[in-house]
C-alpha cells in the first residue's frame, strides 16, 4: 500500500472521570469527522458502569455505534485496570492511583502492543490524558507520535510545568497557610499561594496525586503535541508562555464543538433527573444552581451548613447531591425537615443535565466547587459563579473566575463555612447590585467562547493547525 493511502489511526485512552470523559469523546468525534480512524478505549469498569446506567446492564453495548452509523470510524473497546470491577475507585482514590502508577503501565503496554500488531496497515498515534504518567515509555517503545490532552486550565499547566521553579522559590511544598504573591512563573502574572493547586501544599506534597502529578508534568514536557481544553483569548499569557517550550494548541471548550453528533454517545455516569419543568415555574434569574460536580468529596458538616444557609437565604435553588459525595459510603442525609421546609423553592436531585440546567433562563447563579468542566459550562451558558473550591486544580480555577475574568465571587472567603455567612452571601449575590456587573462580564466571556469554536475562531483554527501538524509528523516519522 502506498504511504499516502495509509489511514491514520488514533488510540485514545482517557482517565475514568466525568470531567475528562466528555472532552475526550468530543475530541474523538472531531478527529473522526476529519477522516481519522479512532479506537476509543474505556476502562472495563467504567464501560460497565455506563452500560448499567443507560442500558439496563447489557454489557456488549457499543457506545459509539450511532456515531458509526453516521459515518465516523470510531471503534470502541475496553481494557482492564488493576482492580476488580466492583472496587470503589472513588472512595479508595489513593489506593487506586498507587496501583495505577505501579501496575497499569505493563497492562497498557501490552494492550497497545496488541492493537499495533493487529493492524499494520494504518499509521498509529496515541492520545492520552495528560494526567497519566505512562505514555512516554509506551510511545517510545512503539515509536508512536503522542498527543497529550490536558482537560484543565492553561494556568494549572503553567504551574505544573514550572514545578522546579516553585521548589527553588520555596513554594513547593508550599506552607498551607502562606499568603504570598508568586510573580515569577512565566505566563502567570501573579497568583497568591492561597490559590495554588492543592497538591503543591505541604499537607499534600507526599500524597499519591502530588507525586503522580509531578511525574506526569515531567513526562508531558516531552509530548509531541499538547491540546488544551481552554480558549486562547481567555488565557493568552499562559498559552504564549508555554508555546516557547512546546507545541500547544488551545482547542476548547471541547464539550461544545459545533456540528458533531455528541449526543449520540453516552458519557453520563449517572441517570439524569429532569429539572426543566420545575425551573419553568420560577422567575428568570431567580434560581441558584448548586453542585459540587462529579468527583470531589465533601463532609457532613459542609452539607449541613450549606443546607441551613440555603434555607435561611430564602432564594430558589436546584441542589445536585450525587450519590457518594461524602466519599466514605455514608449516605448524605439532609437535616430533618429540610426538604419539607424548602419544598416550594428548592429542588434536590441526584444528578441532572448541567448544561441544560445552566442554560435555563430561570437560573441566575451557580454555586460551584470550581471544577474546570463546570467552570467552562457556566461560562459558556453565561452564568455568574459563587466559588467554593475543594481541592486539586479548583483553587486556581476560582482565581481565574474571581480575579482575572471577574465573573464570580468566593463563598466565605475569610473563614469557615457557616450557615449565617452562607445565607447572607447567597442572598446578596442573587439580589445584589454586583450581579449585573458579573453578568455583563460573563456574557462577554460566553461570546468569546462561542466565537472561538466558529469557523475562523481561534479554537477551530488551532484544531485545524494541529491536524495538519499531526499528519505531517506521523508521515515524517515513517
248 binds ligand NAG (CB under 6 A): no
The residue at minimum Cβ distance from ligand NAG is 22
Run of H or E residues at 363: strand 363-368
Q: Are 227 and 251 in contact (CB under 8 A)?
A: yes
Q: Is the Cβ of residue 217 or residue 463 nearer to ligand NAG in the bound state? A: 217
Please spell the DSSP secondary structure of 220-256, one letter per residue. HTT-SEEEESS-TTTSHHHHHHHHTTS-EEE---GGG
Contact track, ligand NAG, 260-299, x by CB under 6 A: --------x----------------------x-xx-----
Q: Write the CB contacts of 137 (distance below 8 Å, at least 6 apart in sequence).
A: 105, 109
Largest CA distance in the chain: 72
57 binds ligand NAG (CB under 6 A): yes
Q: Is the Cβ of residue 182 or residue 250 nearer to ligand NAG in the bound state? A: 250
> 456 φ, ψ to 5°?
75, -5
229 binds ligand NAG (CB under 6 A): no
SS3 string of 283-329? CCCCEEEEECCCCCCCCHHHHHHHHHHHHHHCCEEEEECCCCCCCCC
216 binds ligand NAG (CB under 6 A): no
State the Cα–Cα distance between residues 14 and 5, nearest whole angstrom: 29
Candidate residues 222, 420, 436, 444; the one interacting with ligand NAG per rule CB under 6 A: 222
* Minimum distance, C-beta of residue 153 to ligand NAG, in the bound complex (Å): 14
Quickly list H helices, 316-418.
Answer: 338-341, 354-358, 372-381, 394-399
Q: Binding-site residue total for ligand NAG (CB under 6 A)?
A: 26
213 binds ligand NAG (CB under 6 A): no
Run of H or E residues at 75: strand 74-79
Choose the binding region for ligand NAG from 281-289, 370-378, 400-408, 453-461 (rule: CB under 6 A).
Answer: 370-378
Choose the binding region for ligand NAG from 91-99, 160-168, 196-204, 222-230 (rule: CB under 6 A).
Answer: 222-230
Q: Three-class SS of residue 74? A: strand
Candidate residues 223, 234, 318, 474; the one interacting with ligand NAG per rule CB under 6 A: 223
459 binds ligand NAG (CB under 6 A): no
Choose the binding region for ligand NAG from 87-95, 138-146, 201-209, 324-332 (rule: CB under 6 A).
Answer: 138-146
State the Cα–Cα distance between residues 328 and 470, nearest whole angstrom: 44
Contact track, ligand NAG, 375-404, x by CB under 6 A: --x---------------------------
Q: Write the CB contacts of 146 (distance below 8 Å, at least 6 apart in sequence).
A: 125, 126, 127, 128, 135, 136, 139, 223, 224, 225
Q: What is the CA radius of gyration of the chain?
A: 22
* Minimum distance, C-beta of residue 418 to ligand NAG, in the bound complex (Å): 26
* Minimum distance, C-beta of residue 471 to ligand NAG, in the bound complex (Å): 15
187 binds ligand NAG (CB under 6 A): no
Q: Write the CB contacts of 323 (distance below 8 Å, at least 6 apart in sequence).
A: 270, 332, 350
Contact track, ligand NAG, 139-158, x by CB under 6 A: xx-----x-x----------
Q: Are 247 and 465 in contact (CB under 8 A)?
A: no
360 binds ligand NAG (CB under 6 A): no
Residues that bind ligand NAG (CB under 6 A): 18-19, 22, 52, 56-57, 135-136, 139-140, 146, 148, 219-220, 222-224, 255, 268, 291, 293-294, 354, 373-374, 377
Amino acid at each position: 500500500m502506498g504511504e499516502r493511502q495509509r489511514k491514520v489511526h488514533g488510540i485514545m485512552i482517557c482517565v475514568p472521570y466525568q470531567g475528562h470523559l466528555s472532552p475526550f469523546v468530543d475530541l474523538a468525534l472531531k478527529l473522526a469527522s476529519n477522516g481519522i480512524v479512532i479506537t476509543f478505549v474505556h476502562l472495563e469498569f467504567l464501560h460497565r458502569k455506563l452500560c448499567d446506567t443507560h442500558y439496563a446492564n447489557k454489557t456488549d453495548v457499543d457506545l459509539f455505534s450511532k456515531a458509526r452509523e453516521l459515518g465516523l470510524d470510531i471503534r470502541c473497546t475496553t481494557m482492564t485496570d488493576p482492580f476488580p470491577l466492583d472496587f470503589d475507585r472513588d472512595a479508595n482514590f489513593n489506593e487506586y492511583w498507587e496501583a495505577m502508577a505501579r501496575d497499569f503501565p505493563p497492562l497498557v503496554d501490552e494492550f497497545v502492543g496488541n492493537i499495533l500488531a493487529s493492524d499494520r496497515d494504518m499509521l498509529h498515534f496515541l492520545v492520552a490524558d495528560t494526567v497519566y504518567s505512562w505514555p512516554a515509555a509506551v510511545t517510545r517503545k512503539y515509536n508512536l507520535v503522542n498527543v497529550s490532552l490536558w482537560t484543565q486550565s492553561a494556568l494549572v499547566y503553567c504551574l505544573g510545568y514550572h514545578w522546579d521553579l516553585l521548589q527553588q522559590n520555596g513554594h513547593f511544598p508550599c506552607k498551607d497557610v502562606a499568603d504570598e504573591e508568586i510573580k515569577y512563573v512565566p505566563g502567570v502574572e501573579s497568583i497568591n499561594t492561597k490559590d495554588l493547586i492543592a497538591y503543591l501544599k505541604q499537607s499534600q506534597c507526599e500524597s499519591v496525586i502530588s507525586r503522580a502529578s509531578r511525574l506526569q508534568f515531567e513526562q508531558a514536557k516531552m509530548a509531541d503535541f499538547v491540546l488544551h481544553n481552554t480558549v486562547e483569548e481567555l488565557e493568552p499569557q499562559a498559552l504564549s508562555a508555554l508555546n516557547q517550550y512546546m507545541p500547544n494548541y488551545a482547542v476548547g471548550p471541547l464539550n461544545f464543538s459545533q456540528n458533531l453528533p455528541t449526543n449520540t454517545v453516552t458519557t453520563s455516569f449517572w441517570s439524569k433527573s429532569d429539572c426543566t419543568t420545575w425551573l419553568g415555574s420560577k422567575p428568570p434569574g431567580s434560581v441558584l444552581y448548586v453542585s459540587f460536580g462529579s468527583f470531589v468529596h465533601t463532609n457532613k458538616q459542609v452539607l449541613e451548613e450549606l443546607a441551613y444557609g440555603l434555607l435561611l437565604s430564602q432564594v430558589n435553588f436546584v441542589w445536585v447531591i450525587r450519590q457518594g459525595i461524602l466519599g466514605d459510603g455514608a449516605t448524605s442525609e439532609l437535616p430533618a425537615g429540610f426538604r419539607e421546609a424548602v419544598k416550594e423553592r428548592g429542588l434536590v436531585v441526584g444528578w441532572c443535565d448541567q448544561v441544560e440546567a445552566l442554560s435555563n433562563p430561570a437560573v441566575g447563579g451557580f454555586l460551584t466547587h470550581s471544577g474546570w468542566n463546570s467552570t467552562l459550562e457556566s461560562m459558556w451558558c453565561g452564568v455568574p459563579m459563587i466559588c467554593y473550591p475543594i481541592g486539586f486544580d479548583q483553587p486556581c480555577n476560582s482565581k481565574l473566575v474571581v480575579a482575572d475574568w471577574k465573573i464570580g465571587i468566593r463563598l466565605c472567603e475569610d473563614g469557615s463555612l457557616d450557615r449565617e455567612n452562607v445565607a447572607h452571601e447567597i442572598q446578596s449575590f442573587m439580589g445584589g447590585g454586583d450581579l449585573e456587573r458579573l453578568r455583563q462580564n460573563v456574557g462577554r466571556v460566553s461570546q468569546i467562547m462561542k466565537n472561538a469554536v466558529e469557523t475562523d475562531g481561534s479554537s477551530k483554527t488551532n484544531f485545524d493547525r494541529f491536524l495538519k501538524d499531526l499528519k505531517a509528523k506521523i508521515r515524517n516519522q515513517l
